[in-house]
Structure 1
């Protein structure tokens, strides 16, 4: 497994912070009086490495975050798709979720794709996502979404796809011309690797994957076998999981293998793998690898709602003993799609344990040496939501499968 540890420097308020990313992938700040941000979690209270493994870690997780800024570069785009539209969460929502994540004092932040709408230009990242979530940047471990790769030609818009350029330029840095660096916080940006990587927090091995296979970067090839880029990523994942020595594993990418909102078709059940997207169908192979290697959790975005699914085997059947629990957390701020919960309170996918589509919020995971707990609370109601929109909470715990 290739190490992703790097040394970065942050200059903020006249204070130079060196060595922000430690060997465990956890952000570390030196010579600051306050206990957070970036308090060291790489050693235990007794100062030894075993103490680090015995610690608990906070992982904040969410996707589908920042609205498209209403600026000169987006002047030709429909106003209904930009910050300020009453149907979107806008700046209010992305700032609210960023503040919620910050209040968790996380050791790391898993970003589940579609960080920036509509096509993730670098200028959009700088003028929207950065304004709200930039304070957590050196804790952020992103995965890309379709809005960072594909063109957007819906609802009167007509924007060319960025093929990941703005995403990598923002997270990895860029030269004076805006060309992304080939490696950095979001993983490698080359012809042979498109931003997949892994890192560890104590006893947890965490994998960030890129499922945007219907893009020029992937040759528009969503096959997980053969010689294409997605097949190479799948082979990398198999080797990464084989090399992993941690007892707990969580993986995340954007489009979910198992949908929380789709009603399926006449011939394909809502609970089937990949029913909501071809990318989710491709990720079926990843689910099989993760199940084979006793992974505990899968995190996704894409669907603008929150949902926790029952533990599932690779076929989408409930397996409380060996199944993987999937969380869909697409409530980062851009918009809410009220499609997760039916009018009668049931769910389109019968394998959904609970779902929420009335507001915005970030998941708080506590990663323990041999298990985890989770707590999801909305922080801001969505457009047109009722007075009870902020009363929802989903909390619980589980054990690792490794």
Structure 2
């Protein structure tokens, strides 16, 4: 029998198996539908009988108490709801930033935006879905409200704050910046083959980490926290700045240590915070996922006995790679060997060399507060499409960004220093795809595919 005839027979058998129920049904695709409010307004305890609908603003705050109400008509959904996000845009107001953007709850739907007052406000239903932290002018923010949206019908939300420094959002009358309810339906991805990468995350004085955490909250996958998790690695900063943002995902996080984490002696609070997942005193380890071997290294070289050839970490790396001869290998560590941002580190070259010798595909770094993608290259920076490693710099997790690139590097393909975001890697046997996910309101992105050596 010819090969073509054999293929025809196999195809026919597969079709019969499907008709008889032998083949599993295909998973429903995940789709999203965006709804705009059918009604929205706010009320104030200082004027309990006044309707504020004509102000075209949504206000939250205390002293006086101001509560905003939004109502959506959800229609046309045919598959089960898998996610729902409430998006709000802060107006360009002189009193922004505000330290508290508000807390959302489900509300009753028996009200009209034209007549609603503080005295006639509807009851809140159930506990809060979540809170928005510090907000700034002309910026989008999101809240996960999946628990409230079960299908088609009316749904209403109340947004309130216990902080007297109020926040002002655009109402539905501002068509460009009107609130949105984004509903996802179908079977959500499990995230078993997804890595979410971002470094230089938590600066206590900025809101970048809170914005990028909104991306991670809606994306299934393993979180690769790429170093400089806090300003200086103190226990207070971990508790008060990292924990409320990226700390939400601690149970699915693989941490990487940066130089700021070591500004507190021996990075002890960071080791303590993550526990056994971060090997004490070393901070380098490996794991397997989706058919890939993934290596986390500690490039604070002076803290771990060096990164040079023959150092304890370099010997461990070569032994680990030899013990895991999978086709696809990825490594993540904080300091980049290559960068156009002017902060590359030649100390890590022996580690890059060991990865190159083992046929690794990807290296992901941070340190520079920018995004940059390189073409595959060897440890000397020579383009090598056949065997080279593709390097990503993803220092866009939340700390103040660096917009300039003073030292253009060879083989740099894409760079951006103005957008907070997360790199999403989707791993498959023998290949991978990448996509830079920007924070709400930003437009820069980058995507592509690659194959393993």
| TM-score bucket of the superposed structures, by smaller chain | 0.5 to 0.7
Aligned partner of 1:207 among 292, 295, 315 = 295
Deviation at 1:40, TM superposition (A): 8.5
Change (3 A) 1:282 1:36: farther
Show structure 1 runs of 4+ deviating over 6 A.
35-38
Residue matched to 1:110: 224
Residue matched to 1:147: 260
Deviation at 1:122, TM superposition (A): 1.4
For residues 387 and 208 of structure 2, what CA distance do their matches in structure 1 show? 37
**SS in structure 2 opposite 1:164?**
helix
- Alignment TM-score, normalising by the size of structure 2: 0.57
Report 1 or 2 for greater relative contact order, CA contacts < 8 Å, sequence distance ≥ 6: 1
Q: Is the 8 A contact 2:371 2:395 kept in 1?
A: yes
Deviation at 1:37, TM superposition (A): 10
**SS in structure 2 opposite 1:334?**
coil
For residues 262 and 286 of structure 2, what CA distance do their matches in structure 1 show? 21
Residue matched to 1:224: 308
Q: Which has the higher strand share?
A: 2
**SS in structure 2 opposite 1:200?**
strand
1:234-261 CA deviation, whole Å, 9 max, x = no partner? 1000000000032110001001011231
Higher-Rg structure is 2
- Alignment TM-score, normalising by the size of structure 1: 0.63
Residue matched to 2:429: 369
Residue matched to 1:254: 334
Change (3 A) 1:308 1:39: closer
- Extract unaligned runs of 5+ from structure 1: 1-12, 14-34, 42-56, 69-82, 84-89, 151-160, 173-183, 263-275, 382-389
Q: Is the 8 A contact 2:356 2:378 kept in 1?
A: yes
**SS in structure 1 opposite 2:338?**
coil
Aligned partner of 1:185 among 277, 282, 302 = 277
For residues 201 and 188 of structure 2, what CA distance do their matches in structure 1 show? 22
User: How many pairs does the alignment contain?
Assistant: 270
1:327-377 CA deviation, whole Å, 9 max, x = no partner? 00000001101123x7xxxx7213210001112000111101110001113
Residue matched to 1:97: 212
Whether 1:335 and 2:400 are equivalent positions in the alignment is: yes
**SS in structure 2 opposite 1:131?**
coil
Change (3 A) 1:125 1:199: same
**SS in structure 2 opposite 1:291?**
helix
1:197-236 CA deviation, whole Å, 9 max, x = no partner? 001112110000101123xx43xx535245xxxx101100
Deviation at 1:36, TM superposition (A): 10
For residues 105 and 310 of structure 1, what CA distance do their matches in structure 2 show? 27
Q: Is the 8 A contact 2:198 2:395 kept in 1?
A: yes
